[in-house]
A and B are shown apart, each in its own frame.
Chain A
Amino acid sequence: MSSEASEDGEVRVFSDYTRDFEEDADVVVVGSGPSGSVVAYELAKAGHKVVLIEEGPPFTPQEFRADGNISMARTMREGGLRSTTGTFMPILQAICLGGGSLINSAMCVRPPAFIFDEWSTRYELDHTTRADLDPHYDAVSEFLGIAPTPEDVQGPRNLLFRQGCDALGIASEPVDRNVRGCRGSGECFSGCRARAKQSMDISYIPEAMKFGARVLTSLQVQGVLGEGRRVGGVEGRVVEPFSGRTSHAFRVRARWVVLAAGCMATPVLLQKSGNLANTSGQVGRNLQFHPGSAVAGVFPESIDPIFGGTQSYQSLAFLEEGFKLETMWSAPAALAVRMPGVGTELVQRFGELPRTAIWDAIASTHRSLGTVKARFRSLNPVIRWTLHPEDIKVMLRSIHVLAQIFFAAGAEKVLPGVGGLADEMHSLEEAEVLRDYAIRSGDLVTASSHVFCTTRMHGDPAQGVVDEEGRCHGYDNLYIADTGIFPRCPSVNPMLTVMALAHRQAQSLVERV
C-alpha cells in the first residue's frame, strides 16, 4: 500500500481516492453519527491526532430530496428498506456524514432518573445515574444550543396535541431540540434546507476539523486489526456513494480504536474481525428497539400540517407504562400512505390531507429481543427480532391514548391504523374497541429508528461487551460509543443520551491517550 495520507483538518470525499493508502493516527473513530462526532471532537480538541471515518458521503442542501422514497434511498442503509425478520418491522438507519443526525427530527430528551436507576441495578453500573450524566448532557446541550421549541414555530399540528393533552389532564411539553433559528419548515427528515438543525456534519465535525481532525468519507471499514488484548487500527475499502461499489483498499493504524458505526454495524464489524471482544457471547445479542405506532386524526378545519417543528411537542406521562407520545411531521405524500382504501375512496381521502395531523408513540419494548448477525460477504446484517405479546398490548394502549387525545383536541375522526379494526373511528365510544382488542403483531403497522443493546454495557464482563466508559471488556484500547452500548432501551429518544455517554467516554479517553 502506498501512503497518500490526508492532512490535518482535511475532509476527503470519494473523488479524492485514487489508489490504496494508509494513515496513522492516535485515535481512529469509525462512524460520524452523534456518538462518533462527539468523541472525535473532544479528542481533537485535547490535541490528539484523530481520524474520523464515515462510509456515507457529506450532503449539502442541493443534495436533499423532498420525495420521501428518493430521499430515503439516498440517505439510508439498504435504500431505506432495511427491516427485521421474525416480526417484520422497517428500521431506518442513516448512511451519510453526520449519521442519524442529518435526517432525524432533532429531539433531544434526557431520560428521567428512574431509567438510569434500572440500568444501574440490573446491569451493575455504579456510575451511570442521571446525576452522573447530567454534566455531560449539559456540555453537549451547550455546544449544540439545545433549547425548548419556541411557541412561534410550533404550528397548529403541535399545539393541538398540547390542547388535547391539557383537556385530558395529561402532562405535555415542548421538545428540546438541537436547532438554531428554526422557522418550522418541518423538513428534518429529508435534511434541513434551512440549515437550522445542528446535525453533526455542520456542528461537531467542522469544529473537530478546526482542531486538526481528518475526516475520511466514503470509506467502509471492513475489519478491526486485532493483536491480543490490543487492537492496532482498522482496514477496509473505498466505497462509491449510493451504488455501494467498493474499490481501493485502505488501512488506518491507530493506538486507540473507537467504534461508533451504529448499533447494527458495530457488532457486525466485531463478528467479521474474528469475533472480537466477544468473550461474553453478547456481541450482536439483546437487540432492542422503540417501535413506533402512528395515529392520524382529521380535524374539521385546515391545520396547515406542513408548518411547524417536525416533532416539537411530547408527553412523558406514560413512560412508566412503557410508552412516550410525540407529535410528528410527515411529507404530505408520506402522510397519504396512511390513508386506507383504493380507488375513488382513497383519492377522496387525499382531499383531507390539509386537515390531517399525525402523532406517534414510541414503546419501550424491553421484552422484545433480537439478534444482529453478519451476513456472508456483506456488512448488511441479518436482523432477527420478535415483538412480545405483552409489548404489543402496550403499543395498542398507546394508540388508544393517542385517539383520546385527538378527540379531546377536536378531531372529527381518527385513523388508528390497526389491522382488523375499522379504518376510521368517529368518536371516543368507537375508539373504545381499542381498549381490549385481541391484537396480533401482524395487525400493527410499526417502524423504528431507535436501536439498542447489541454491544451492551454491563459491569460484569461475562454479561456485557463494554464497561461504563465504553471500553471493551478484556481490551486495553478498543472502545464502542454508539447506541449498541445502551444496556436497555432508554424509553426516550436516544440521540442526546448517546452523545452524553460519548462525551463521558471521550473525557476518560483524553486522560488515557
Chain B
Amino acid sequence: MWGIVLIALAVLAVRRVWLGYPATGAEFAVLAPREEAFLQAAAEALFPPHERLPLSGGQADLPGYADRYLAVLPRRQRTLIRALFALFEHATLLWPGKGRGGFKRFSALLPEQRLGVLRDWQSSSLALRRLCLTALKAILILGYVGHSESLAALELAPWKIESPRVEADFLYPPIGGRRDQISRAGKPLGGAPTAPPLMPGLDQEAP
C-alpha cells in the first residue's frame, strides 16, 4: 500500500518538475526548458507593458540574459541561482496563488495569480522570503533595465568612450589569449594624462 503511494507521489513529482514544458526552440548554454518557462513567466509578471519603456519583460529575452549570466558563474553559484528559480516555480505548493489552480507551478498560473504570488513574497513576514525575491528581482531587473532599448528610452545609456591605450595595454593579451595577440596599434598615452571626452551613446556590447 505505502509502496503504491510512494510511487504515485514520485510520478506526480516528476510530472510537476520535469514534464509538460513546451520546447520553444531557443538554444541555451545552461538553461533547461523548465527554467526558461519560469523566467519568461516571471519577466512578464514583473515588467508588464508600460508607456515609459518600449519593451515589456516578455519581449526583453530575459531567459537569454539569465543564460548568459549563468554561463559565466562558477558552478556552485550557478547551482544556487538555478535552485532559486526552482524554488519560485514550485513554492506555490506552500504559498499558492489566489483562486482556482493556485497550486500549479508558477509558470502555469494565470498572469494575475503570478503577480499576486510575487506580491506575497514581497510582503512576507519572513525576511528570507523577501530576500529571495530581492535576489530574483536583481537578476531580472539588471537584464531588463540594462537592455539597450530600455536604457535608450530612459536616456541613461552608457557613455561612448574610446579607451586610450596606456602602457599596460601593450603588456596584457586578451583574457585566455596569447601575448602575440596584443594589438600593437596606437601609441601608449604619454605625458599629461587625458581621458577621452564623454559622448552620449551606447558602444558597449549588447547584453
A interface vs B, CB < 8 Å? 11, 13-16, 57-70, 73-74, 78-79, 81, 88, 97, 180-185, 187, 193-196, 201-202, 205-206, 209, 241-244, 305-307, 331-334, 336-337, 339-344, 346-348, 350-351, 353-354, 419, 440, 442-443, 445
Contacts and interface: CB of A to CB of B under 8 A. Distances in A.
B174 A185 contact: no
Interface in B100-157: 115, 118-119, 122, 127-128, 130-131, 134, 137-139, 141-146, 150-151, 154-156
Given A61-B163, A187-B158, A81 B77 contact: yes
A135 to B, nearest CB: 26
20 contacts: A13-B178, A60-B168, A66-B158, A70-B69, A81-B73, A183-B198, A193-B159, A195-B195, A196-B195, A202-B166, A202-B168, A206-B171, A209-B171, A307-B198, A333-B142, A340-B122, A344-B48, A350-B154, A351-B154, A354-B155
A331 B145 CA distance: 10
A337 B142 contact: yes
The residue among B156, B168, B196 with the most chain A CB atoms within 10 A of its own CB is B168
Contacts of B139: 69
Contact of B74 (A78, A88, A201, A333): A78
Interface in B6-44: none
B169 A81 contact: no
B122 A341 contact: yes
Contacts of A344: 48, 50
Contacts of B168: 58, 60, 201-202, 205-206
Interface residues of B, number: 70
Contact of B167 (A88, A183, A202): A202
B190 interface: no
A183 B118 contact: no
Given A15-B177, A242-B72, A333-B146, A343 B48 contact: yes
A346 to B, nearest CB: 6
Contact of A194 (B53, B142, B161, B177): B161
A196 B80 CA distance: 36
A343 B207 contact: no
CB-CB nearest 5 A-B residue pairs: A442-B127, A333-B146, A58-B172, A61-B163, A194-B195
Nearest to A305: B156
B159 A185 contact: yes
A353 B155 CA distance: 10
B175 A332 contact: no
A13 B154 contact: no
A243 B76 CA distance: 11
Contacts of A443: 127
Given A88-B131, A342-B45, A350-B52, A183 B73 contact: no
Nearest to B202: A66
Nearest to B148: A66
A210 to B, nearest CB: 9
A13 B130 contact: no
B176 interface: yes
Given A241-B176, A341-B122, A344-B50, 7 more contacts: A58-B175, A66-B205, A68-B146, A195-B189, A202-B166, A340-B122, A353-B156
Contacts of B145: 332-333, 336, 350, 353
- Residue from A13, A57, A187, A307 having most chain B Cβ neighbours under 10 A: A13
Contacts of A305: 156
Interface of B: 45-48, 50, 52-53, 68-69, 72-74, 76-78, 80-81, 115, 118-119, 122, 127-128, 130-131, 134, 137-139, 141-146, 150-151, 154-156, 158-159, 161, 163-169, 171-179, 189, 192-198, 204-205, 207
A334 B128 CA distance: 21
B118 A343 contact: yes
Nearest to B42: A342
Contacts of A64: 204
Nearest to B169: A60
Contact of B175 (A16, A193, A241, A341): A241
B53 A350 contact: yes
B52 A185 contact: no
A97 B48 contact: no
Nearest to B50: A347
Given A202-B168, A342-B45, A244 B74 contact: yes
Contact of A336 (B141, B165, B193): B141
Nearest to A341: B122
A66 B174 contact: no
Given A195-B166, A346-B46, A351-B154, A60 B52 contact: no
Nearest to B167: A206
Nearest to B165: A195
A81 B179 CA distance: 31
A499 B149 CA distance: 42
A201 B170 CA distance: 12
A491 to B, nearest CB: 28
A346 B140 CA distance: 12
A342 B76 contact: no
A333 B157 CA distance: 10
B154 A354 contact: yes
Contacts of A445: 134
Contact of B138 (A242, A337, A351): A337
Nearest to B69: A69
B50 A348 contact: yes
A351 B52 contact: yes
B45 to A, nearest CB: 6
A134 to B, nearest CB: 26
Contact of A70 (B45, B46, B72): B72
A65 B205 contact: yes
Given A336-B145, A347-B53, A194 B163 contact: yes
A242 B173 CA distance: 16
B141 A333 contact: yes
A67 B48 contact: no
Contacts of B76: 78
Q: Counting chain B CB atoms within 10 Å of each CB, which of A187, A242, A342, A353 scores highest?
A: A342
A211 B125 CA distance: 60
B161 A185 contact: yes
Contacts of B142: 67-69, 333-334, 337
Contacts of A11: 171-172
Nearest to A353: B154
Nearest to A197: B195
A501 B139 CA distance: 38
